[in-house]
Chains A and B, each alone.
Chain A
Amino acid sequence: MNYFVLLRKQAFLGILIMMVCACLGSIRGAWKENQEGYIGVTQKDLERVAEAGVGAPEMIGVMGLAAEQNRWHNLGYAYHYAWRGVVCYCILMAFYCPFYHCRFFERLRVPVMENDEKGLHTADDPVKKRKRE
């Protein structure tokens, strides 16, 4: 099996790995953001106080602005971890590629227990099928 064809064929698995890694990254980023503590009034707030005119919040500089409280570590980490997930997937497929036609994996890929009306195991074992042929 061509490696790149395999990558494309198993893309659904790649997306799953990428999403799970991004999710873990997001939690890791949130964890870091939690450790860094509360920001409060920011430099940006103070700059806005200096140029505050009509249409600025009344309490600017006294209370921190909510929008400035996000460090967005979660999204940054999610992005980086997602790429790590892609790399993991590529490595995993590189190991898997030579064994693609191995009997064990062929059996695993079979639509096991495909349902029929009675809901019984009816799918043919591909190895046995090949032998029969």
Chain B
Amino acid sequence: MERMYKVVRKWGSENLLLTICVVVQLVLVFCTQKPVIVNMDGIFSYTLANSPYDYLFLDGKYSEFPNDNGWIDAHILKEHYVTEDYDRFEYAAVYSHQRYDVHPPLYYMVVHTFSSLAPGTYSNLYTMLVNLLSLFLADIVLLKLFQRLYSFYGCAIVPLILIISMETMRFLLTWARMYMLLFFFCVWYLLIHVGFVLHEQKKTDYVQMVLCIFLGTLTHYYFYVFAAAVTLFTMADMMRTGRVRELLRYLYFGIMGLTASWIVYPWVWFHIFENSQNKHTDIGGWSVEKVMECATFLRDRLLGEGTWKWAILLFFWCVELFVRKKRKGEADKKERSRLHFRRLLFFSGLLYYVTIYTLDGGVIHYHTALYAAFIVWVSMLLLDTISQIGILLALPCLKLWNHHAVRIGAALVGVWILFSGAGIHRYLGGAERVLNAVWQNGPLVSDFWRAPDFFPNHNCLYVEIESDPFFHNFLFSFGEYRLFKKISVEEFERHGIGEEELSGGGLAGEGLVVYLPKKYELNEDDYRLFAEDGDYRIYEYVGGMFE
């Protein structure tokens, strides 16, 4: 005990507090994501990362699959989203998929790595681990960033709390896509630029810049937009202060990172400049309505839907501006540099937002870099406002106001006022559900999504509403059955499910499960309703003709 006390004391209460904060954050996200059902985007992530076959949609080749009266081995479907012994750590396959897709390959390679560690299995844990790893790295970067800005690690507690308070971030953290990884690279890019703005850059900053640009551009193309915005304002600052040599060095290392990325992945040229998948072909112009929509989207995504919290934020901002004006000339060099960095965050975030909104409109995940800039900006605003108010009022306890603990505490109150902790409540609700399930051994998802667990070695007949490469997002369920067959709604309407439909393997195995659109029903004597979802019902065949 005494030894532990010594360790804690040596390490410092500040570090301990931050560690607890990071651990709690990771546990909450872990618990929340556990019951998340992987949707179409998740299917994209797993199939592009793990399929050993070339980039083709399944329904395009379905008719060529070896079959017996339409029944195929369901393992063919499973092969597309799990790794097997023959394609573990096969990064060339991932690279090839991404050449035809419109995203760079880094995220998929990471997912493939996690999947390769457990061949033959699928779990949403794999993408969750990538998100958790990205969150952990982003936390470390935020610690370093706030240490550089305020010379005190503890200030980072404000952005760390902010990350799990924002509903939008909760969405990104629990989503099986590359946006958390992009978030990490954006925050890292900001950390590197703190040195340039504070005139305290080190040699390692340049090396980090090369690495960050290299990896960031291999994660998502919108990293280019964010990096360009930040770079533009940093270059303007360097020119304003006459740091030409620094500017040249900065450009040199920037070009290094960019060329390294393009050497490894030149397909970016075709994806962006040749518009290989015809994206952004119908970009609409700006109008008054679009400006209003844009402002509403910004408010909803950053501060919560339909809230008036923007008024409080505006109030904080005005107070800070007013106080700063009053104290003009009194601010020290570090304070001026911080203000400068905040301006850089504001304008680069705004430029990024306007660019992406013009290209894609209000798509939540495309604005990830904006959230990164916003989290750092709001944290700085709150931390600075509190200290500014204290200084202005010149309270007898002026020194106390300057004290970091008071400053951070007051900033956290600001975070609570702005975000009401709604996100944290939802995390706690999700965690409670998961922990209850763990202790009481209960299910985390509905029976509908666990149907393959109830029917091992059963065959599956799927009545398809329309041709869909992801089988109405049931791909991961269908891959778990023994044999699989799909028929169209028209075929079902013509002759229902007769013996001729089931011949050729349909009646082999333990039994049959039918996925039927909700507008149809099956004879209750032969089929038992097992579960239902939004569009489909699952029936178990109880007719008793099985071999």
Contacts and interface: CB of A to CB of B under 8 A. Distances in A.
Interface of A: 12, 15-16, 19-20, 22-23, 26-27, 29-30, 34, 38-40, 55-59, 62-67, 69-70, 74-75, 78, 111-115, 119-121
A29 B52 CA distance: 24
The interface centre, meaning the residue of B52, B90, B246 with most chain A CB atoms within 10 A of its CB, is B52
Given A16-B256, A30-B269, 20 more contacts: A12-B252, A26-B262, A27-B266, A30-B266, A38-B54, A39-B54, A56-B86, A58-B75, A59-B79, A62-B61, A62-B65, A62-B66, A63-B54, A66-B92, A67-B92, A69-B99, A78-B263, A112-B245, A113-B242, A114-B245
B92 A70 contact: yes
A111 B239 CA distance: 14
A66 B252 contact: no
Contacts of A75: 263
A117 to B, nearest CB: 9
A112 B255 CA distance: 21
Contacts of B87: 57, 67
A22 to B, nearest CB: 5
B281 interface: no
A26 B93 CA distance: 19
A66 B55 contact: yes
A19 B260 CA distance: 7
A112 B547 CA distance: 88
A39 B92 CA distance: 15
A76 to B, nearest CB: 12
Main secondary structure of the interface of B (DSSP, over half): helix
A112 B247 CA distance: 11
B262 A27 contact: yes
B84 interface: yes
Given A34-B270, A59-B79, A65 B263 contact: no
A26 B94 CA distance: 19
Given A62-B64, A64-B53, A30 B267 contact: yes
A53 B5 CA distance: 60
B56 interface: yes
A57 B52 CA distance: 8
Interface residues of B, number: 47
Contacts of A70: 92, 95-96, 99
A40 B262 contact: no
B241 interface: yes
8 contacts: A23-B263, A62-B65, A63-B54, A66-B51, A69-B96, A74-B263, A115-B241, A121-B242
B256 A19 contact: yes
The interface centre, meaning the residue of B54, B61, B79, B245 with most chain A CB atoms within 10 A of its CB, is B54
A114 B248 CA distance: 12
A58 B76 contact: yes
B259 A20 contact: yes
Given A12-B252, A119-B240, A55 B86 contact: yes
Task: Report the 5 A-B pairs with minimum CB-CB distance, sorted nearest first.
Answer: A66-B93, A30-B266, A67-B92, A23-B259, A119-B241
Contacts of B199: 115
Given A19-B260, A22-B259, A63-B56, A112 B244 contact: yes
B243 interface: yes
Interface string B30-70: 00000000000000000000011111100001001110000
A93 to B, nearest CB: 17
B54 A27 contact: no
B255 A16 contact: yes
B476 to A, nearest CB: 17
Contacts of B99: 69-70
A62 B66 CA distance: 9
Given A16-B255, A16-B256, A59 B53 contact: yes
A59 B75 CA distance: 10
Nearest to B267: A30
B85 A55 contact: yes
A23 B262 CA distance: 6
Contacts of B241: 115, 119
Contacts of B256: 15-16, 19
B501 interface: no
Contact of A64 (B54, B64, B263): B54
A114 B55 CA distance: 53
B252 A16 contact: yes
B73 interface: yes
B97 interface: yes
